[in-house]
Structures are given as structure tokens and as C-alpha cells.
Structure 1
């Protein structure tokens, strides 16, 4: 048994211990994003007497923050957690970024190679690829490298990471010759500060970066000498309130930095330059902008001229300008048609020519234009109707422009080149495309003799990497190896000597991107550059067996992003067996779509197990894992079993499901005897054209099924009851509805005699609550009291008390727009009592976590009752409506209180709080006695130090229903 000491762990959002009976988890009116949570002091012992076992789903391991596991906690032993599931065997690591050094001697990649979710920087020697070397320094717990760039001489790499403090991105420098050893470049940051962007100067002597270094959330521009790390100078001039620096670039001579900022006027972005010898003293470069105008982007030419794109003369119409002197610019593009705009531009390597994309001649038709040698001309070929230019680039020798366009066939994007030395016609360069194929991106080889491009050229939606020479257009060769099913090439780069490409692809395992090198000249000669990646697991949801001895969970335990069901025994944590049957390629068990039978001997689940994207219903015996039977009958073409609640009959002998089994897109209700799987019976009566079954529920004795459908009149949703012994013959339960009325939700009483439903029964769009007795169908009584004008009963949050004598509901019954909580005794329909205490102006009762105590004596609810938008939890006795007691202790500023619930003995209430501390989320779990309000004990881990974002996704009593936390 693996024991995790809680004082060594940090949690993000901690579970809540909840009673499965009578808890309403639907979200609804009043549940806003307030600020609510406990302050940092440790609560005193609240005298909790009885132990509570809770299973919860969380990414609890801060060293593998993308792994979601199941843990067992006990409220009387808060020092230890038991991990229930075994470690995941699936490869979860990915290579997410890669590049060559400028000299091509090394390739570098960013991957969670060692720990799932912890991204680090690795170096591969291209002369003798072997075991990659980790380049970054040692990371803090939960830290990751975020981005990187090389110095021009290839000797150093600058990277951003939360290396020293989790959640705080700072800037570091590592030498290629001394991997694993780094220095911090930036000056000290405030608690919530981050380095955002960074760049070496062309001479390699400086690093500039943007960060909110001096003022939180205000991005400014800084310069640091790598030989004097930790001491930076602010480059930008003083910013107007609300201003910030966006992008920046060094001049080619490394003496100046240009930057875009709303420095003088908030939200008006202009172009500035600063001499690095005079930091803090900048000059504005652009000419005066028209009202509403902004500088959009800019480029230095290799000769030091500065070009920028802006709607300088006409608001909303971007054009390209060259800076002549500060405040004095010249327009570079040709005149635009009314409504036209330049979308982007590039310069050739010598700075002597420009290409830009614009709807210059026809509004909304984007074409490619060339400016150079005194010539301004369109260079793309004639476009088919609807055609546009998508992307473009100069060749390194400046003789060609390549571009992607749907030039010949609308919405079919292909690759073209045009020789700009003669400005002749363009030539299509890619090989013929498969139907629906497209070129997605391209890059010229550094030797300018050819291009590499990524396209679904051979198979639609399978993106691969191709090489083609300018001398042989249309004769492309594939560079990558054959891809696994679902695999694609996602990113690539060409070596500086044009001999090979490196690329990222899920070539061997779907959804696992790895790093490969391929020869351009010798097709098929390739090598994987990364070593084995981190394994991991993502458990998405779980269910506890009725006797509390077993847990079934859905996870990609064996293969990344392929979700099966697994079964574990609570007495032997750390081991599990695969429960679901073998899946077809691409198949998965669906999320939140499985359940134990009432006796715990079987599990039903929803999956595309036999045919990818065809979802059906399966049953597996827990004593015979891995061998399942299909429950539904054969489906019509394109039919599916709907992903509704798994509905066993209470005796466990039957299941009901909703499916377009007989007619595509017509959802009906079917009953299957579990002893004869694959043979189902339609339960509902014949549907009117356009009709569908919407939802359904077994009666507590299993003899009947109630369902909601537009069975008799299309788009009029009504309530029906069918006896499972006489399928196809249903009875309408509701009384006659007004024109255009609908029933939106229903619930069955615990004794199975009555149904409460919400409908705009009497007045269109005025929703009220009604009660009907199954023994007298067609008659109903209104439950709620009279509503104020504009008032409604809310869909979420109405329920029977556990003893079935009362109905709880939420409504803006007394004040339009103010949602409050009401209780009605079924012996006196139409006369309700308001349960909550008086609300502050703007306050509401939320549907989240609204619950009866199991003995029906009390209701616990969540509301911003005392302070607007600060949601807290309250308890009220049904015998004393309007007199409630706050249960939680005072909340810290910026905190939020989420789910809560009542213990099986009705004595205790647990609740979850959430807050962010220094940009790092923290959730905590508390338990409080209803007779000792405000005096809670904390069940979750007290966090010490820093940790990555940690989540609690779901939780359950043992045994009990599973509840999900939503933040």
C-alpha cells in the first residue's frame, strides 16, 4: 500500500464529503463567480466523532501535475492518503517545441520526458545523436520550462521557467557547453510577476525582455547584460496609466530597441525606439494616428530601416509605412480599394524588397503584392472565385516568393512559387492533392533550391511532411515514415545546411508527439532524437460499488487518450484490472457514462467499442473483467445509443436506454432484459413526426418508467408513464398544457406515487411547479405559491424531501430576479414557506450543493445572503423557516466557496473552498457540525511553500454517489 504523507503534498481543489441522498448538484441562477474562502488560520478541532472514508480524484502529485489518480482519505487520520490505482503505463509525455541552433550543430527540444506535465529542455548533438542532455537548471517542485531561444553564436540558450518559484516565470541563461547549470537573468520580480517575452541582441551581448517586474500586470521592457545577470535596466519611457509594452525588436546593429506600446495614451498602440545607452528615454517613430488608429506590427530591415503596419490614415484600414525620421513616415503600399487593408508583410533578406498581403484591388479578396526595384505589382496568379492568399515567404536568396492559396479551386489550398527576378507567372509546386487535401505550411530550404511543406496530400486529414525542389515542381517526396492511425506531423524545421529536417509527430503512438530527424536527399533515412517519454495516467471519473468494496474508474491507463474502464478492490490498493471489452481503433468508453448494477455484480457502460464513433451500451460482469456483452439491439445506419444516465431497474434485471435505434435522429425509449442482451423492446407509444424522448426515470419499484417527450405534438414536451409489462402503451400524466407550453424537468417521489414537474403549464414562459399522482393521470396541482410578475420557478434545485412529504424549490417568487428558497408541504399545495433568511441587495440562493439532511429536518444551501457575490453556506430547520445559521467560518478576500453536503447521520456538513495564492490555485476541504457553526476542521492538506495547479475533480463517500467539483 502506497502512503502519501499529506504534509509533503499540495492540493488545488480539495474534495468535499457528501451524502449521496438528496443532493442537488445542478448549477443555476445565483451561482456566480463570487469571492469566497476561508482565511489562512487553522480552524480548531470541531469535535468530529465518526470517521468518514472518502475517495477523490485529483492530480495530487506535484511532480506529475498532469496525472490524475484516485486517493482514499479518512477524516480521523488526516496525516496519510492511500493511492488506490496503479501507476499508468501509457506514454503521456510529449515533445512540444523544437529548434536547431543557428549553426546547426545541435537540436533542442522541450518535452515532459521524465515527469508527466513537467517540461524541460534537452540538447541533441546532431553530429552524433545519442542520449539527449538536459540543458536547463534544476526546477522547483512543479516547475516547467516555458520557452527558449539561442544566442546568435549558438553557445547559449535563454529560457523562461518557473525554476526557482512555482508559478513565477523568470528568465535564465544556460551554456551549451555546461548543460544543467543556469543563471537567472532578470532582476527580482514581485510576487505575481512574470517574464513574458525575451530576445538576444544580434551581437549576442544583450538580452531584452518584457515583464511585470516593477508593477504587477504592467508589462515593461528591460535590458540585461548576460555577463551581469540579475541587474537589468528599464528601457521604455514612463507609461500612461493602464499602458504596457507589447512587442519589441533589436536594431541590426544592436544599438537600439524598437517597441510597440500604449505608452502615451491608454489603448492607443504606437511605435517607439530607445537607444540602449540611454534607457528610459524613447522617441515615438510613427506619424500621427487618425482617431482609433493603432500600430499593429513592425519589422527592421537588415539595413536598419523600420517598417510598420498601422491604420494611421483611415481607422480600420491597415497600411505599411517606412520611418523616415521620428514622427515622419512614408506609405509603402499601393492605394487600397475602399474597405481594403494590408493584413501582413515581410522583407527579403537583403531588405531591398517587400511582399504584402492585402485586399488592395477587391474588398475581401486577399492577394499578394511585391514592392522592389521601383516596381509595385501583384504577383499571385488569377484567383478562382472565393480564392485568397493564406501564407507567403521569400526564399533565402531573395529570388522567389512562395505562397499558399486556394488559387485554382476554392477552399483547396496549394503551394505556389513565383520568380521575382522576372516577375513571371506563378507555378504550382506541390504534388497532386487527395480529395479535400490542403497544404498547411511551408519553409524554403536555406540553400533556396527547394521547399518542405506539411499537407494532407495523400490522405485527407492525415498531415505529413514533403520535400520538393524548385527545378522539379509537382514531384514531391514524403520525408516522414508511415504514421500510426490518427498520427500527424505537427511542426518541422530545416537544418541550416539543407541536408535534413527535424519534425514533431505522433508517428508511433497517436497523441504522443516525438522528435524525429529525416534526410532530405535520402528518403526514408530518419532517426528519433528524443529518448523514452514520461508515462502517466489520467483518470477522468469513477464510481463506488454499492457495498463500498470496489471502485470502477475510466482512464487512459494503458495508452494515452484511449479511455477504458478499470476495476480495483479497496482491500488491495495499487492494483486494478481492465474491465471494459476490447476497443476498436479510435474507440473509447464515454465520460460519466458507466454505473454499477444495484447489487454491484455488473457494470454497464457507453462506448464506441465495436465501431468508431458509433456509441452503444455494454454490460460486463465484475467477476469476468474484459468480457462484455452489447445490450442494445442493432442500430439503424448512423444510429447511436444516447449518452444519458445509465438506468438500471431497481432490481437490476433490466435497463432502459434512449436511442435513434430504428430511425436516425428520432430518439425513442427501449427496455432490455439483462438475461437476453441485444434484444430490446420499445417502451414509448408512437411519436408524432418530429417527436423525441428527452429524458426518463424508473419508478422506485421498477414497474414503471416515466419519461418526458414531445410525443403527441411536436415541440410540446409532456410527461408520460409506461408500465414495463405493457411496452408501447403509455399514459400522459400532466393535465392539459397551454398553447406553446412545455414540461422542462420532473422528479419522482421516494415512494413512487407522485411526480413533481416544472412547466409553463398555465401561462406561456411562466414556469411553475406542479404535482401529479400516478394513480390519477391527467390531473395536477400547482405546488408553488403565487409568483410575482416576471417570477419563475427555476429548473435546477427542486427536489422531494427524503421522506417524500415536502418539495424544495428555488424561485424569484416574491421579487423578480431575486432567487430564493421555498418549501411546500404536499398536504397544502400552493402554500409555501420561504426558507432562507433575508438576502442582501442583489443576493441569490444558488442551486449548487443544495441539499436536505437525510432525516428531512434541515436544508443546507449556498447563497450570497450576507454580502453580495460572496457565497457562503447556511443551514435552516424546516420547522423554523427564515431563520438560518451560517456554517462556514469567515472567508478570505478573493476566495470562493463551492460544493457542500450533509453527512449520512445529518450531523456534519462538509464544504470546499478555493482561492489563488500568488497565482497558484488552492482548494481546501472542511467539515463542520451543524450544532457548532463556524468551527470547522480542515480535512485537506495545508499547503506549504509553492506547488503547481492541483485539482480535485470528483469525490464520493465509501459507498456513495460521485460528485464533481466545477470551478
Structure 2
């Protein structure tokens, strides 16, 4: 086992020392030509250690270019929490907010270009959330309050666009509840009121913004009266240019929220309706962003008594709505697909008829090119879960198994994901040993046998179970994962393996945590050059951010010059 290490040191690949691994690589000749070594990663503790008792909260973000990391913690003064930004090379720490009590920052988001941070918290009045914006890098003095004067709980809902110049928020104003938009950099005085007014008993259900940032949406509901309304308006107003996309006071259905899928020109919403079996989310609709309400189309059709939509996803091109529901048989969940613009006549079940008590699980994913859906189901044998793939428009007869060979019945696939090029599916399963999970890759159309990725090294190393948290690198070349070292769920390590050519041995990215230490979460940088993880590996229950990075930072990086930090593709 390695000893605790200091910032700047780098753990080697798991198992054999790197020098031995390189020797083996050189001596096996041509057979080793299809193997590789991990990148020359540099390990560092990114967040400052602070004082005794200082920690980072599990509230952190990476900017879309991978240059900045923003986090919440008390890393300067224990017990005094703030929002901070650091470049990922561990350069200067920038505090972006006033100090607050632990837990005072409730939410954290970044602008689409990653150059501003927005945070919601009760920094001024206990229990009253307000919305702030700060540039990256910035100072507490550069932070600007975005909301109008509020009372009660303050800001309740807010949304930031993928692009655009304004965000939206719903809040309890001094005189009444309202819905406003405001420039990303403020000031609050530039807020524009967008809502038509709330009726007695109504409250906020949710907000949304179209991806290009042009229109704002507000979902309102009266739970007691079982009524709801959906309002759409230009994001910069005026109110008179808005209209209702849904306004039902005479039905027994309630809008549970809505969204504008990326790439789509339609607003999507779900309705929870009163049935003899109780309230069930059994209606799905879409409507043009600017209406009218009469142009809304039903996407899910009728349901068996007790049936409901359990989960949903959208294709990246905004063309398809895929959902899991017990639509035909109560408590038997199938996977369905329909064009987001309709018509309902094109709704198809993606999976073939299921065996007896079979179900499609909540683990399904749509390929990045929007052509296929991969899913996990005990489709042919009850309680034996396998991976399947099918064209997004069906038919169900085109579904193909992604698992080949004879396997014990108690070996299951638990999760899966497409590679960025949509050509391959990676899935997690315990095929080699019951309850010891590994990662496998297979062509997305099931045209070849699955290939074991982890615990299948040419150079023997420790056998470690892949945990439930794993991520493909954005370039699709590698996969990172939390692994269990000694017991299920101990999450003691962060591993990595290359899909092809493989590393000679599964790589361990972190050092050996102290007793009780674990990896809680992680993310891969957008340029695929490294990984950031959240862990208490140095001191039990003292959480910090760590990076494992192969990026070389040139002169001028701290100033962020173009030469030192080229824009990510």
C-alpha cells in the first residue's frame, strides 16, 4: 500500500510499479502492441486545506471549457462558508461571495460560457433566499444581487439559459408573487416582470428557458383546486406579448413541470391526473414555444388503470421523446418512443413483449446521434437483466441483445451508456463473478461479442469491483469509475481504463484513503485530459476536491490568455 501523499505527488497505476509495467511491456514483443500506458497524470489537492475542520461541500461545478472549478466550502475560515473559483491548475483562490453560515448557499449554476457563476442563498436574511451573480474570476465586491426586493422565502425557482443574456426567477416580491427576467450580470433594477399574475391559491411549480434564451416559461398550480397553467413570454417582455400554453381549471389534471428539450422548438409538459387508483402522471404533451395552446399534441395516449409514466428522456436533436411506463399492463414497465412533435399515431413500444413479470428498468439511454436507444430489462427471463439496443423509432422486432454467450441466470447488467460517437455501448455487469461488477464494451448494434474492460489486464493486478458511479471520457477513449476495494460500497478508489488499446493494467487515480475515507463523486474534464474528484481521502469526514490531470499549463495560464488556454472544441 502507498503512504499518504502531499499535493503534487502522483499515484502510479494500481498493482505492479510503473517501472515493472514498462519492463513487461517491452519484453512481450508484438503481442503487447495493442496495449498502452496511462497518461502522465499529475495529482493535486485542488481546494485549499484551510483550518482544522475546513471542508468543501458537495456543491461544485466545472465550467464548460474545463478551465475553472467553482465550489462552496469553508476553506479559509472553518465555519464561514463562501463560493470560490480556482483554475484547475491549482492557481489563485478567488472568493466570489460574502461569508455565510454552513449551508447558507443552497444552489450553484454557471452561465453557458462558464464565465459567470450564479448562486442562491440566505446570505443576508436567514431563511430568505436571494440570487447573486459574479464574474469568474471575481471578488465578493463584484457579486451582484439579481432579484428585486423579496420577502418570505424569497426566490423559489430560477433557470439559466444554455445561451442568451438573461435568466429568470420566480419569487415572493414585497407586494406579491411574481416572475421576472434579469440580465446575467444584473443589476436587479433591470428585472422585467413577465407573469400575468397569480390567482388565489396558485403557487410556483417550475420555470424554464428556451435553449437559445429567447423565451421564458412559468408553470403555476393550485394543488388544492387541482388546476394549473403554463405561461410563455419573450424573455425580455413585455407581459402583453405572453400567452398561456396550457390553462385548465375544469379538468382533474395538474401540470407537474415542463422543459424545452435541447434542439427542439416545442415546450414539453407532463400532467398528473386523478384516477380511481389515485393521482397518476399519465399524460404527456408538447406545444410550440410561442403557442397557441390549441396546437398542443398528446404524446402518450391512453393508459391502463393505475398506469403512469415513470421516467422520460429526449433525443439530443430534440426530435424524440422516450419514456418508461406501465402503459399497457399495470406494474409492467415498457419503453416507448414518439416524435416530440407527434403525431400520437407514431408512438411505438421499443421493447418486444416481456416475459411474465419482466420489466424495462430505469436504466436506458439515447445515443448522441439520436438514432438508437439502449436499455436494461429482464426481457426474456424474469429477474435476469440484460442489455438491449433498438432504433429510436422502432420497431420492437428490431431490438437486439448486447449480451452474448452462456451466462448464469443470476448475472445482471445494471447500467449502460453510449460512447460519444454512438458506435459502442459500455455497460456494467457482474458476468465474471456474482456481485463483482465490471465494465464491458460492445458494438451498439450487437454485431460482436461483449469485451470485458476492467479486471482483465495482461499484467495481473488487484481485483476490484466497479461501483455504480462511472463516466466515459468526452472523447470516448477511456472510462473512469469509482471502485470498491475491500467491501461492497466502500468506494475506496477511483479507477480508469482505456477502451482500446487497453492499459496494461487498470489504473488507480487516487492514493490510498485513510481509514473511513472514500470517493464520493467525480467528473471528467471536458477536454478528456483529466478527472476531478470529491473525497475525504486525507482526513476522514474532511471533504476536498482533487485533480488527476495530464494537461500542461503554459506561461500566461493564470492570466487566461488564448495561447495558454485555447478554447475547447
Give TM-score, length-normalised by structure 1: 0.41
Secondary structure of the equivalent of 1:684? coil
How far residue 775 of structure 1 moved from its aligned partner, in angstroms, is 4.4
> What per-residue deviation string (whole Å, max 9, x for no partner) do you get for residues 741-790 of structure 1?
21223232444532232225797846222232234422122222443343
CA gap 1:934/1:827 in 2 versus in 1, 3 angstroms: same
Residue aligning to 2:187:
677
687, 691, 694: which one pairs with 2:205?
A: 694
Which position in structure 2 is the counterpart of 1:228? none
Q: Aligned to 2:14, what secondary structure does the other structure show?
A: helix
Summarize the Cα distance change of 1:963–1:800 in structure 2 as closer, same or farther, 3 Å threshold: farther
Q: Assess if the C-alpha contact under 8 Å between 2:376 and 2:386 holds in 1.
A: yes
2:155 aligned partner: 641
Structure 2 CA distance for partners of 1:641 and 1:778, relative to 1, 3 Å? same
Counterpart secondary structure, 1:617 = strand
- Which residue of 2 is the match for residue 7 of structure 1? 14
1:868-907 matches, within 5 Å, as 868-869=382-383, 871-878=385-392, 880-882=394-396, 883-887=398-402, 899-907=415-423
Residue 855 (structure 1) aligned to one of 369, 374, 383? 369
* Matching residue within 221, 235, 243 for 1:724: 235
Deviation of 1:734 after TM superposition, in Å, equals 2.6
Query: Structure 1: how far apart are the matches of 2:52 and 2:39?
Result: 32
Separation in structure 2 between the aligned mates of residue 704 and residue 892 of structure 1, nearest angstrom: 53
CA separation of 1:578/1:587 partners in 2, compared to 1, >3 Å: closer, same or farther? farther
CA deviation after TM superposition for structure 1 residue 813, in Å: 1.8
Give the direction of change, closer, same or farther, for the CA distance of 1:945–1:676 in structure 2 (3 Å limit): closer
Per-residue CA deviation, residues 778-813 of structure 1 (Å, 9 max, x unaligned), is 21222224433433333x21x332223322122212
Please state whether the residue corresponding to 1:3 is helix, strand or coil: coil
Structure 1 contact 757–770 (Cα < 8 Å) conserved: yes
CA shift for structure 1 position 830 = 3.5
Q: How does 1:255-654 map to 2 (within 5 A)?
A: 537-560=55-78, 563-570=81-88, 572=89, 574-575=90-91, 577-586=93-102, 588-590=104-106, 593-627=107-141, 628-636=143-151, 638-642=152-156, 644=157, 647-654=159-166
- The answer to whether the 8 Å contact 1:913/1:923 transfers is yes
After superposition, the Cα gap between the structure-2 partners of 1:893 and 1:944, relative to the gap in structure 1 and judged at 3 Å, is farther
Where relative contact order (Cα < 8 A, 6+ residues apart) is larger, the structure is 1
State the shift of 1:876 in Å: 1.8
CA contact (8 A) 1:693 1:708 kept: yes
- The alignment status of 1:958 with 2:525, answered yes or no, reads yes
Distance in structure 1 (CA, Å) of the matches to 2:420 and 2:172: 40
Equivalent-residue separation in structure 2 for 1:668 and 1:963 (angstroms): 39
Distance 1:737 1:827, change over 3 A: same
- What are the superposed Cα offsets for residues 208-245 of structure 1, whole Å, 9 maximum, x if unpaired? xxxxxxxxxxxxxxxxxxxxxxxxxxxxxxxxxxxxxx
Where 2:356 maps in the other structure, the secondary structure is: coil
Structure 1 residue 604: Cα displacement: 0.7
Q: Is the 8 A contact 1:543 1:596 kept in 2?
A: yes
More divergent stretch after superposition (925-934 vs 765-774): 925-934
Q: Which has the larger radius of gyration?
A: 1
Per the TM alignment, residue 694 of structure 1 is displaced from its structure 2 partner at its CA by: 1.0
Q: Which SS does the other structure have where 2:327 is aligned? A: coil
Q: Equivalents in 2 of 1:885, 1:576: separation in Å?
A: 52
Aligned with residue 777 of structure 1, among 285, 288, 292: 292
Which digits, 9 at most, give the CA deviation of each residue in 1:707-765, with x for residues without a partner? 21127995412322122233444411136565322122323244453223222579784
Q: Alpha-carbon deviation of 1:695?
A: 0.5
Say which of 319, 329, 338 aligns to 1:805.
Answer: 319
Shift of 1:942: 7.0
Contact 2:154–2:173, Cα closer than 8 Å, also in 1: yes
* Preserved CA contact (<8 Å) 2:350 2:395: yes
- Selected match of 1:657 from 169, 194, 206: 169
TM-superposed CA distance for 1:922, in Å, is 7.8
2:354 to 835, 839, 842: 839
Unaligned runs of 5+ in 2: 1-7, 17-30, 455-478, 493-517, 535-569
Secondary structure of the 2:379 match is: strand
- Given that 1:823 and 1:832 are in contact with CA atoms closer than 8 Å, whether structure 2 keeps it comes out as yes
Partners of 1:909 and 1:746 in 2: how far apart? 30
Verify the 8 A CA contact 1:648 1:656 in the aligned structure 2.
yes
**TM-score under structure 2 length normalisation:** 0.67
Deviations 1:547-595 (A, max 9, x none): 222222333434556543332323x1x44614331213456322xx212
Whole-Å separation in 1 of the counterparts to 2:292 and 2:337:
24
Cα offset for 1:684?
A: 1.3
The answer to which structure has the higher helix fraction is 2
Aligned to 1:705: 216
* Cα contact 1:551–1:567 (8 A) shared by 2: yes
CA 721–81 in structure 1, closer or farther in 2 if over 3 Å, else same: same
Kept after mapping to 2: 8 A contact 1:700/1:750 = yes
How many matched pairs? 446
CA RMSD of aligned residues (A): 4.2
For structure 1, list consecutive stretches of 5 or more residues without a partner in the other structure.
Answer: 10-44, 50-74, 93-535
The answer on whether the counterparts of 1:704 and 1:724 sit within 8 Å (CA) in structure 2 is yes
Separation (CA, whole Å) in 2 of partners of 1:85 and 1:894: 42
Residues 597, 567 of structure 1: CA spacing in aligned structure 2 closer, same or farther, 3 A cutoff? same
Q: Tell me if structure 2 keeps the 8 A contact 1:587–1:613.
A: no
Q: Tell me which residue corresponds to 1:823.
A: 337
How does 1:152-167 map onto structure 2 within 5 Å? none
Indicate the residue corresponding to 1:909 in structure 2.
425
| Equivalent residue, structure 1, for 2:543 | none
Change in CA separation of 1:805 and 1:840 when aligned onto 2, cut-off 3 Å: same
Q: Which residue of 2 is the match for residue 473 of structure 1?
A: none
Q: Report SS of the residue matched to 1:803.
A: coil
Quick one: distance in 2 between partners of 1:649 and 1:669?
A: 16
Asked whether the 8 Å contact 1:589–1:606 carries over to 2, the reply is yes
d(CA) in 1 for partners of 2:424, 2:292? 40
- Cα distance in 1 for residues equivalent to 2:51 and 2:12: 26
Relative to structure 1, is the Cα distance of residues 815 and 543 closer, same or farther in structure 2, using a 3 angstrom cutoff?
same
| Residues 751 and 804 in structure 1, CA contact (< 8 A), matched pair in contact too | yes
